[in-house]
């Protein structure tokens, strides 16, 4: 769902529902700013949840109706809807999405604790996310081939997500054992506790890398269709096919990065991926316009590296949560993933706001169907598409210079945690 929201939904609001770029960009940014503070609260609540239904099962079934209900309302949104309508709809949709994503991440990080296995798990996690993304992104391609409009293709995507979400949630909650409930710490959690957490060096590294590694590709995704159609001369169908290749390459990129991480460490694997992604993305402007075969390898490499970056950030987050729990005895897994989820949202909001409201608006680019843009506007579109992602991806790698939570150190942490947990269980 994440890529469908980022790539197709802003265009759907602007082109199909008749909203201006500034209204769309402001609506997405406002929703993110409202939604972001809720993530740490949800993470903390998950860490403290104790129920007969389990910790993560309960939260999964809170998220399903929020997401599916908001998507159903979106299907019936009329042309010319107000910004208040869009903000309210997006807020509920992102809340449901956040609950489901945060639950699955914290659940995965809690049930698998070994350094190498955690890399493999999140590699598989990312690969399955790729499967979902490809399944959804096939829909507008098929829809266009059948002669349907862009808007009808987006609505078909929404119906697919609405049907798949409860089915996948049922499978997950049925087959996955809930994580053991460890002590969550003292009852009160104040602003000082948050400050102590987010000022830790390794926490700052993970949050900074997650923000930059999300902002780069999200920046690119927000104007992807505009760039490939109006600057590179691809049709909408070709653009969607290249996007599918970008996503599908995660099948290889995520497991490959997990394999690489178990040989050179997770943070070094992340640094390799951010560097290769940036160099490959730069080559896009050097390729012949409209040449699908020439663009295919570049999009494959970028997508593979992007999936690997996501895999490493998620695996590193679980390692840092283990390190903190050893030091103070509190359960941090849910809150740590909530914080990275918040930085992901902040980066997503920033990408749409910056590209729509500042960059494209100031270069005079017009996204309306059939609009004729000046060479100056197209040049601005190219710079916006390339420079932002390259800079931020490189910064994501820089965040882990000097990182010291090695595989050996994490193994020591897990031995001490397991011994302490065994003693608590025996008592």
Domain that holds residue 381: 2-177+192-426
What is the Cα–Cα distance from 289 to 269, expressed in whole angstroms?
Answer: 32
In a domain, 186, yes or no: no
8 A C-beta contact, residue 389 and residue 216: yes
What is the Cα–Cα distance from 18 to 81, expressed in whole angstroms?
Answer: 8
What is the Cα–Cα distance from 14 to 362, expressed in whole angstroms?
Answer: 17
In a domain, 56, yes or no: yes
What is the Cα–Cα distance from 161 to 165, expressed in whole angstroms?
Answer: 6
> By C-alpha distance, which of 248, 235, 381 is closest to 302?
248
> E strand or H helix at 256, and its extent?
helix 250-264
In a domain, 71, yes or no: yes
pLDDT for residue 368: 67
8 A C-beta contact, residue 326 and residue 416: yes
The answer on pLDDT for 191 being more than 70 is: no
In a domain, 184, yes or no: no
In a domain, 15, yes or no: yes
Task: Report how many domains make up the chain.
Answer: 1
The answer on pLDDT for 192 being more than 70 is: no
> By C-alpha distance, which of 218, 213, 226 is closest to 361?
226
What is the Cα–Cα distance from 373 to 363, expressed in whole angstroms?
Answer: 10
Number of C-beta neighbours around residue 278 at 10 A: 22
Task: Residue count of the chain, please give it.
Answer: 427
8 A C-beta contact, residue 11 and residue 369: no
In a domain, 155, yes or no: yes
Lowest average pLDDT, out of 142-156, 190-204, 360-374, goes to 360-374
The answer on pLDDT for 358 being more than 70 is: no
Question: Both tokens of residue 279?
Answer: 């160099």
In a domain, 402, yes or no: yes
Question: Both tokens of residue 361?
Answer: 């608006």
User: The domain that contains 112 carries what CATH number?
Assistant: 1.20.1250.20
The answer on pLDDT for 416 being more than 50 is: yes
8 A C-beta contact, residue 90 and residue 31: yes
Average pLDDT, the chain: 84
pTM reported for the whole predicted model? 0.77
In a domain, 183, yes or no: no
Residues 103-135: pLDDT tens digits? 988 888 888 888 899 999 999 888 888 888 778
Q: What is the mean pLDDT of residues 136-156?
A: 82
Q: What percent of the chain has pLDDT over 70?
A: 93
Lowest average pLDDT, out of 229-243, 294-308, 316-330, goes to 229-243
Number of C-beta neighbours around residue 41 at 10 A: 12
Burial class (CB in 10 A: 0-12, 13-18, 19+), 175: exposed
């Amino acid at each position: 769902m994440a890529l469908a929201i980022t790539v197709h939904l802003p265009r759907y609001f602007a082109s199909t529902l008749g909203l201006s770029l500034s209204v769309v960009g402001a609506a997405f940014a406002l929703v993110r700013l409202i939604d972001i503070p809720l993530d740490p609260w949800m993470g903390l609540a998950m860490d403290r949840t104790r129920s007969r239904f389990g910790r993560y099962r309960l939260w999964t079934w809170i998220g399903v109706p929020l997401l599916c209900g908001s998507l159903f309302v979106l299907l019936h949104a009329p042309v010319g809807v107000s910004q208040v309508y869009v903000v309210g709809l997006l807020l509920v949709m992102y809340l449901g999405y956040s609950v489901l994503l945060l639950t699955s991440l914290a659940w995965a990080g809690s049930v698998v604790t070994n350094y190498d296995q955690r890399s493999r798990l999140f590699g598989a996690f990312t690969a399955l996310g790729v499967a979902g993304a490809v399944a959804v992104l096939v829909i507008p391609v098929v829809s266009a081939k059948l002669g349907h409009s862009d808007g009808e293709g987006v609505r078909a995507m929404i119906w697919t997500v609405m049907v798949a979400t409860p089915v996948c949630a049922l499978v997950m909650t049925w087959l996955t054992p809930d994580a053991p409930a460890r002590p969550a710490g003292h009852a009160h959690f104040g602003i000082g506790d948050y400050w102590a957490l987010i000022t830790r060096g390794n926490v700052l590294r993970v949050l900074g890398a997650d923000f930059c590694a999300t902002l780069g590709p999200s920046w690119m995704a927000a104007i992807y269709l505009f760039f490939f159609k109006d600057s590179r001369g691809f049709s909408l169908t070709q653009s969607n096919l290249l996007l599918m290749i970008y996503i599908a390459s995660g099948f290889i990129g995520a497991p490959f990065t997990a394999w690489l991480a178990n040989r050179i460490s997770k943070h070094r694997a992340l640094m390799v991926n951010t560097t290769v992604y940036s160099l490959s993305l730069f080559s896009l402007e050097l390729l012949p316009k409209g040449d699908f075969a020439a663009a295919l390898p570049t999009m494959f490499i970028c997508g593979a590296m992007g999936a690997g970056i996501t895999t490493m950030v998620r695996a590193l987050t679980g390692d840092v949560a283990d390190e903190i729990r050893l030091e103070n005895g509190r359960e941090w897994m849910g809150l740590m993933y909530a914080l990275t989820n918040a930085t992901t949202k902040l980066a997503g909001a920033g990408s749409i706001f910056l590209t729509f409201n500042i960059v494209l608006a100031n270069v005079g680019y017009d996204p309306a169907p059939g609009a004729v843009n000046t060479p100056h506007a197209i040049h601005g579109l190219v710079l916006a598409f390339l420079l932002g992602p390259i800079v931020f991806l490189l910064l994501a790698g820089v965040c882990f210079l000097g990182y010291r939570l090695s595989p050996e150190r994490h193994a020591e942490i897990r031995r001490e945690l397991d011994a302490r947990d065994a003693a608590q269980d025996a008592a």
